[in-house]
């Protein structure tokens, strides 16, 4: 097999004083943090679409990236080269997982049958590379948004033929995810949303989406796929209104349609901020509802209103992400998938290495800070004390369901003085900064 990233060896941990841009400063895979290694905590994953398929194209110009496989013109030769390059890249980067859409890894043919045949050839190659390297598939998914047939959506399309096509596509994607040992399967809404209610039957579209997901659950059972199903919320882009807009709306949907036991969420940082939430908020809400499944690790730009999918570098954000993940008892089957792309101007192959190094180091550092914050209990203790009124007296009675409005009125009438205590936000923020700078 030819080498694609010539002149770049394996990226290793050299510690925080290293000046080598091709070394990890904080990501030290075998370092133990509590009872797990960093590698086990973080479960880093590469997104095939950005790293291998992405071209750097934007609305104003064609692709800019220069890749070792760029000169190949036969679509199947290109697909094979990309798959081989993916494994070389992950080995060199010490990345243990990857994720893909069906259409990232193999080209579409003239017919669905031909497309499936193309997939089978590439899946055979991926299967061999997985066996040779020990790198695993974190999740697979189906691209139900790029082809023009999905112009009105897939499971929520007004056209039943499109619903059927999407079902066939997900059926195949589930089969290949199972074959490759995928630990999860993701549904991101793609074009499942609407542009205008003037032409939309929202009730039918949502019912159909639920029908589609029930069919997926049934089929997974039938073929013995034991991976975790994940829904990835996003509020807008490509449609003006996406149905799975945030964790709260996904939870309501899953509960309404009896799907809560079969799905968790895959939370993407940039999708959280597009929804007007922090990444921390979305992870927290998912965790306390038992649905925190996996993470698409990236970051947006506060000045831009779209999904910029940048590599995560903000330590404050990675710290609180890891804080929630540690409180969740880890990511379990999930992982940290870098759904992130290099900027259009970073077009050289080596930029793929620099970008993943920056993201892996940012999460490694966040993990350490979060672990220390939790170990010392500074925030937890403060919060516990803040709610202490619910552990005794009238508060305990409220929590235990022993009182109603009448008893509470009697209590309030007798309670001469209500005393509140400061929330101490600035003091807490300063403590967090101290940990970030010193942990």
- Whether 356 sits among the annotated catalytic residues: the reply is no
d(CA 112, CA 106): 12
Tokens 């089957």 — which residue? 333
d(CA 250, CA 335): 20
> Which residues make beta-bridge pairs with 136?
97
Q: Which of 50, 101, 271, 277 is catalytic?
A: 101
Min. distance of Cβ 307 from Co ion in angstroms?
Answer: 8
By CB under 5 A, residue 104 contacts Co ion: no
d(CA 29, CA 102): 29
Give all strands (DSSP E) within 189-315, no chain letters. 193-194, 228-232, 241-242, 263-268, 292-296
* Nearest CB to ligand XUL, comparing residues 11 and 186: 186
DSSP state of 401: T
Piece of 80-88, 174-182, 206-214, 331-339 that binds Co ion (CB under 5 A): 331-339
By a kind-dependent CB cut-off of 5 to 8 A, residue 25 interacts, out of ligand XUL, Co ion, none, with none
By CB under 5 A, residue 339 contacts Co ion: yes
Min. distance of Cβ 188 from Co ion in angstroms?
Answer: 6
Min. distance of Cβ 339 from ligand XUL in angstroms?
Answer: 5
* Nearest CB to ligand XUL, comparing residues 246 and 268: 268
By a kind-dependent CB cut-off of 5 to 8 A, residue 186 interacts, out of Co ion, ligand XUL, none, with ligand XUL
Burial 199-208 (b: 16+ CB within 10 A, else e): ebeeeebbeb
d(CA 6, CA 330): 36
By CB under 5 A, residue 282 contacts Co ion: no
d(CA 125, CA 314): 37
Min. distance of Cβ 82 from Co ion in angstroms?
Answer: 19
What DSSP string describes 128-169?
HHHHHH--EEEEEE---SSSGGGTT-STT-S-HHHHHHHHHH
Handedness of CA 172, 174, 178, 180 (dihedral sign): positive
Helix axes 75-93, 112-133, angle to 10 degrees: 30
* Nearest CB to ligand XUL, comparing residues 296 and 324: 296
Q: Which of 104, 296, 339, 361 is catalytic?
A: 104
By a kind-dependent CB cut-off of 5 to 8 A, residue 141 interacts, out of Co ion, ligand XUL, none, with ligand XUL
Which of 84, 192, 268, 307 touches Co ion by CB under 5 A? 268
- Whether 101 sits among the annotated catalytic residues: the reply is yes
Min. distance of Cβ 348 from ligand XUL in angstroms?
Answer: 23
Tokens, residue 414: 């007798």
Tokens, residue 397: 């009675």
By a kind-dependent CB cut-off of 5 to 8 A, residue 307 interacts, out of Co ion, ligand XUL, none, with ligand XUL
* Nearest CB to ligand XUL, comparing residues 103 and 178: 103
Chain residues in the site for ligand XUL (CB under 6 A): 101, 141, 186, 188, 232, 234, 268, 296, 307, 339
Handedness of CA 145, 149, 152, 154 (dihedral sign): negative
* Nearest CB to ligand XUL, comparing residues 68 and 238: 238
* Nearest CB to ligand XUL, comparing residues 141 and 239: 141
Size of the site for Co ion (CB under 5 A): 3
Min. distance of Cβ 296 from Co ion in angstroms?
Answer: 4
Which of 88, 104, 296, 324 touches Co ion by CB under 5 A? 296
Min. distance of Cβ 375 from Co ion in angstroms?
Answer: 31
d(CA 318, CA 310): 13
Instruction: Give the footprint of Co ion on residues 368-387 (CB under 5 A).
Output: none
The Cα-based distances of 308 to 50, 215, 237, 363 in angstroms read 12, 33, 11, 19
Catalytically active residues, by annotation: 101, 104
């Amino acid at each position: 097999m030819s080498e694609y990233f010539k002149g770049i060896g394996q990226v290793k941990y050299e510690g925080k004083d290293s000046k080598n841009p091709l070394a990890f400063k904080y990501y030290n895979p075998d370092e133990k943090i509590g009872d797990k290694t960093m590698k086990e905590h973080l479960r880093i994953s590469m997104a095939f679409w950005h790293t291998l398929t992405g071209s750097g194209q934007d609305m104003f110009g064609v692709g800019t990236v220069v890749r070792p496989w760029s000169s190949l013109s036969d679509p199947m030769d290109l697909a094979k080269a990309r798959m081989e390059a993916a494994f070389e890249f992950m080995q060199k980067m010490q990345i243990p997982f990857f994720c893909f859409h069906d259409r990232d890894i193999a080209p579409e043919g003239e017919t669905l049958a031909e497309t499936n045949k193309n997939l089978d050839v590439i899946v055979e190659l991926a299967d061999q590379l997985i066996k040779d390297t020990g790198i695993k598939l974190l999740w697979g998914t189906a691209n139900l948004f790029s082809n023009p047939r999905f112009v009105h959506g897939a499971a929520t399309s007004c056209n039943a033929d499109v619903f059927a096509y999407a079902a066939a596509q997900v059926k195949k994607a589930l089969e290949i995810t199972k074959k490759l040992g995928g630990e999860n399967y993701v549904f991101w809404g793609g074009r499942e949303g609407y542009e205008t209610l003037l032409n939309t039957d929202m009730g039918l579209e949502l019912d159909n989406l639920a029908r589609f997901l029930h069919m997926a659950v049934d089929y997974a059972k039938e073929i013995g796929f034991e991976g975790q199903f994940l829904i990835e919320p996003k509020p807008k882009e490509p449609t003006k209104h996406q149905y799975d807009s945030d964790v709260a709306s996904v939870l309501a949907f899953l509960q309404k349609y009896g799907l809560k036991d079969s799905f968790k969420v895959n939370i993407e940082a940039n999708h959280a901020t597009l929804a007007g939430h922090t990444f921390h908020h979305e992870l927290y809400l998912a965790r306390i509802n038992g649905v925190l499944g996996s993470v698409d690790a990236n970051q947006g730009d506060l000045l831009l209103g779209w999904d910029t999918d940048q590599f995560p570098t903000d330590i404050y954000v990675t710290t609180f992400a890891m804080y929630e993940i540690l409180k969740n008892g880890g990511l379990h089957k999930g992982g940290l998938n870098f759904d992130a792309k290099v900027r259009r101007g970073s077009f050289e192959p080596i930029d793929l290495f620099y970008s993943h190094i920056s993201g892996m180091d940012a999460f490694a550092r966040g993990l350490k800070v979060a672990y220390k914050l939790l170990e010392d209990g500074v925030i937890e203790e403060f919060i516990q004390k803040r709610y202490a009124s619910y552990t005794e007296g009238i508060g305990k009675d409220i929590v235990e369901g022993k009182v109603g409005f009448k008893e509470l009125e009697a209590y309030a009438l007798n309670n001469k003085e209500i005393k509140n205590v400061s929330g101490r936000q600035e003091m807490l923020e300063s403590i967090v900064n101290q940990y970030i700078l010193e942990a």
